[in-house]
Amino acid sequence: MPVLGEDSSGGPPVAQAVEFSASLVKRVEGRRFEAQVFAKSDRIRLEYKYAVKTELGYSSIEILRLDKRESWFLLAQRRQILSVPLKPEEILPIQPTLPGEQTRTLIGDATTIGRASKLYEVRVDYNGRNERFYEWVDVETGVVLKLVSQDRDWAIEYLRFRLSPQPDYYFEEPTGYQRWVPKSRAQERG
């Protein structure tokens, strides 16, 4: 069972060591993306319904390692891992506090996907770009269940949210995979 910590600023509860699985639906400018999500503390595994395009090809699995500030795209056909740095504003939000958060206002009690939640209006500043969100935070776990931008066509929502232990190997480099290392300019010249 996850443990909730108190936020000294009077904000939402802070989820600690939450483990869960869920179906994720992300909507961006009329397009819909779906993935199965597995989360364990500061690690997230996304198994996309449709593969995502990377600079090395398509990947259907992405592992977010917040502890290493990296995102790993598993390239099954190449048996390689494409590692890219994480940008705070691109991380799938699990903790209620958003990158660049300026203000948070509790709107009230709500229910989303059949779970009791608190509804907040949150204002953020992403490198000079102000944005307003509605955020539904699960009362039991402190996990963000739904996040909707008020300023653009963008939203994420978990469906079929289940608290359950997740195996460590879901979040590690798979056996037999090698990290892709770009050739340096010196190697290309000579």
**What CA–CA distances, in Å, run from 53 to 29, 48, 60, 159?**
18, 11, 9, 24
Rounded to whole angstroms, the Cα distance separating 123 from 121 reads: 7
- Considering only the top CATH level, what class is 3-182? mainly beta
pLDDT at 25 over 80: yes
**16 pLDDT band (50/70/90 cuts)?**
low
What does the pLDDT average to over 65-80?
Answer: 93
Residue 17, pLDDT score: 72
DSSP state of 168: G
Tokens of 135: 């955020």
Residue 88, pLDDT score: 73
